[in-house]
């Protein structure tokens, strides 16, 4: 009876295991790349929203300043 685990069979088994492990690692790398790309998109969206919020805050400050300048107390210099 021949030995099942001879040197040739062990090499073939190890090659199959290494090939399978390489496929697994490639899939994990693709998942990581997808997650990184999604994070990049989310970060760009956050920057855009922050910029829009800063513009809105600047507009609100301008409107508040204009409202303060147009208020009755500052427009009535010689009221009795």
Task: Delimit the domains of the chain by residue range.
Answer: 28-63
Rounded distance between C-alpha atoms, residue 39 and residue 9, angstroms:
45
DSSP code per residue over 30-53: HHHHHHHHHHHHHHHHHHHHHHHH
CB 38 within 8 A of CB 32: no
The pLDDT assigned to 75 comes to 61
Chain segment 13-33, per-residue pLDDT in tens: 999 999 999 999 999 999 999
pTM of the model: 0.62
Percent of the chain at pLDDT > 90 equals: 68
| Chain length of the chain | 80
Can you list the residues of the chain whose pLDDT is less than 70? 1-2, 72-80
């Amino acid at each position: 009876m021949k030995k099942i685990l001879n040197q040739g069979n062990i090499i073939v088994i190890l090659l199959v295991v290494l090939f399978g492990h390489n496929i697994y690692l490639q899939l994990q790398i693709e998942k990581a790349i997808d997650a990184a790309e999604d994070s990049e998109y989310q970060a760009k969206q956050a920057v855009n929203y922050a910029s829009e919020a800063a513009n809105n805050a600047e507009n609100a400050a301008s409107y508040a300043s204009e409202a303060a300048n147009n208020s009755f107390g500052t427009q009535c210099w010689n009221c009795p």
